[in-house]
Amino acid sequence: MSMEKNDALFLLVKSLSKSEKRQFKLYAGRLGGNSEKNFMALFSILDKMEHFDEKVILQKTNIKKQQISNSKAHLYKQILVSLRLNPFHQNNKTHIREQLDFAIILYNKGLHKQSLKVLDKAKNMALSNEEHNLAYEIVELEKTVESQYITRSLTTRADDLVLQSEELSTRTVMLSKLSNLSLQLYSMLLKKGYVRNDTDYEKVKSYFENYLPNYNYRELGIKEKLFLYKAYLWYSFITQDFVSCYKYSQKWVDLFYDYPFMKKNNPVFYLKGINYLLESLYLIQHLTNFSKTLHFLEEEIEEHNFLLNDNTESLSFLYLYSNKLNLYFLQGEFEAGVAFLPELLEKLELYSDKIDAHHIMIFYYKIASMYFGTGRYELCILYLNKIIKNKSLKMRDDLLCFTRILNLVAHYEAGLDQNLDVLIKSTYKFLIKMNELHEVQRKFISFLKNLSNIYPHELKNAFKQLHKELEVYENHPYEKRLFMYLDVLSWLESNIENKPVASIVKRKALTKYK
């Protein structure tokens, strides 16, 4: 029976480059033995497969059915060992850990002096790269070795190690507290989205203030500062303080300019920082800085100005293409955005195994919005249905709500109003169940509910009345963000003026950014 495409071993083999495959074959060739012949046969079969199929493996190798699980586990481990030996996958952290492993081997052989020499080298490397967790682990091992290396004077050495251990322990605790707070806030953002009222705001504020540790900024290391900025960034996103989002995402990115070695050591954090800077600029509608920052990101990717591997390559695609779509939205260039979609979809298929479902669905929502902006409502509905029908979806609640509402509007505009009442009821129930209804959503759903009771000659006035009611929320602290993900006002204006949505958005962009 054919198995699912995302079998872990199959995906690992398919992720290997030509040079990595060549290195693995050379590495495996040194091992020898019958079991190695079996796992090399398994490797060759997997390499040629388009989809993982256990039947084919059993037919074309000497591996028995009861052996296949162990054979796969053995091959998986050996591939990882081979990759670990590849210089391309080594960085300062792996070099430090390698030195630590060497020191442990020397210590176990009773070669204490040599062990201490290697540990000192590893510790200096860890400290210079702000790897305080590793430095603390090294100092603890140094204390163990020193306690047995009795021919050396411990008079000042012991005091130095104790002092260093205490200092690193304090740093490690601070880093842990800040990273924990950052992670919890990020989780809160993904699960619940943004604050909707003063009660939500006070809860988040209280949580943040209670768990933010006391710190002296001047005493913070690079990583502590990074997680401090991240914590403030997530807090600002949740509370919809988008100007502060811009402030802290810029501080995050600036950290990598102040300490250039961080780009190589932490390329993922670097890319994420630029992405959140772009998201902040999008939310505050700063087109000039957004365009400059997007151009800068594209140059960084093209010129390989940070460590490029499979992970950072997929993230580069995710952030670059997502923000290219956002640029089309800011400019109101929907036709150009639609022309860009084939390239995006081709890349999305290429990286689909390395991007989580949440981000793929966000792409679908943006694609649907782009089609809506050009009046291609059937295609808009097609991509919205990909989100709605995904029952296992783990996506922010607020985006699920926008998907349902945009789906309603697209059905209305497409003239597919024969089942509109049923669709309105199901959407309303969905929003009530999720406890996600904002005032803007309530008024909008109520308007759609009453559409069938409005005579054609009364429609324009009805649109004008709803526009008047909703525009007061455009700068509301808890409602304003809704207009970024679902531009209801521009849609209403297009119906009032009898012009395409794209022309309304473009006109606003020209007025705002001239």
Cα(322)–Cα(219) distance, integer angstroms: 37
Residue 272 has what pLDDT? 94
Span 167-178, mean pLDDT?
A: 89
pLDDT digits (tens, 9 = 90+) for 365-422: 999 999 999 999 999 999 999 998 887 666 666 677 888 888 988 888 888 877 777 8
- The CA-atom distances, in angstroms, between 374 and each of 160, 246, 383, 410, 506 are 69, 30, 14, 11, 12
Phi-psi region of 196 (alpha: psi -120 to 50; beta: other; left: phi over 0): alpha
pLDDT digits (tens, 9 = 90+) for 215-227: 999 989 899 999 9
Cα(74)–Cα(319) distance, integer angstroms: 36
Cα(405)–Cα(149) distance, integer angstroms: 71
Cα(305)–Cα(496) distance, integer angstroms: 49
Token readout for 512 is 């705002």
Please tell me the least confidently modeled range out of 70-79, 149-158, 425-434. Answer: 149-158
Is 196 inside a domain boundary? Answer: no
Q: What is the DSSP string of 442-484?
A: HHHHHHHHTGGGS-GGGHHHHHHHHHHHHHTTTT-TTTTTHHH
Residue 151 has what pLDDT? 46
Location of structure tokens 């789906």 = 407
24-63 core/surface letters (b: 16 or more CB in 10 A; e: else): beebbeeeeeeebebbbbbbebbeeeeebbeeebeeebeb
Is 16 inside a domain boundary? Answer: yes
Token readout for 199 is 């009660």
Residue 395 has what pLDDT? 62
Of 496, 445, 442, which is closest to residue 467 (Cα–Cα)? Answer: 496
pLDDT range class, residue 2, cuts 50, 70, 90: very low
Of 188, 194, 274, 191, which is closest to residue 481 (Cα–Cα)? Answer: 194
**217 CB neighbour count, 10 Å cutoff:** 8
Mean pLDDT of the chain: 84
Span 353-374, mean pLDDT?
A: 90
Residue 501 has what pLDDT? 82
Is 428 inside a domain boundary? Answer: no
Residue 74 has what pLDDT? 86
Cα(317)–Cα(298) distance, integer angstroms: 10
The pLDDT of residue 514 is above 60: no
Span 342-361, mean pLDDT?
A: 90
Cα(190)–Cα(394) distance, integer angstroms: 9
* Residue 60 lies in domain: 8-89
Please check whether residue 91 is in contact with residue 307, taking contact to mean a CB–CB distance below 8 angstroms. Answer: yes
Residues 6+ apart with CB under 8 A from 199: none
Is 81 inside a domain boundary? Answer: yes
Is 468 inside a domain boundary? Answer: no
Please tell me the least confidently modeled range out of 219-233, 353-367, 425-439, 458-472. Answer: 425-439
Location of structure tokens 């190798």 = 61
Cα(354)–Cα(313) distance, integer angstroms: 10
Is 345 inside a domain boundary? Answer: no
Is 150 inside a domain boundary? Answer: no
Cα(379)–Cα(402) distance, integer angstroms: 17
Which residues face 53 on adjacent strands? 2
Cα(501)–Cα(514) distance, integer angstroms: 20
Span 74-97, mean pLDDT?
A: 81
Is 41 inside a domain boundary? Answer: yes
Q: Which residue has the higher pLDDT, 189 or 317?
A: 317
Please check whether residue 358 is in contact with residue 395, taking contact to mean a CB–CB distance below 8 angstroms. Answer: yes
Burial class from Cβ neighbours inside 10 Å (0-12, 13-18, 19+) for residue 450 reads exposed
Of 335, 301, 483, 492, which is closest to residue 398 (Cα–Cα)? Answer: 483
Residue 347 has what pLDDT? 94
CA dihedral (265, 267, 272, 275) positive or negative: positive
Token readout for 473 is 């929320």
Token readout for 124 is 């200096």
Would you give the DSSP letter of residue 424? H
Burial class from Cβ neighbours inside 10 Å (0-12, 13-18, 19+) for residue 238 reads buried
pLDDT digits (tens, 9 = 90+) for 28-60: 877 665 455 677 888 888 888 888 888 888 888
Token readout for 14 is 């398919």
Would you give the DSSP letter of residue 512? H
Q: Phi/psi of residue 116, each to 5°?
A: -65, -35
Domain count, the chain: 1
The pLDDT of residue 315 is above 90: yes
- The half-sphere exposure of 299 on its side-chain side, counting CA atoms within 13 A, is 6
Residue 491 has what pLDDT? 83
Residues 6+ apart with CB under 8 A from 461: none
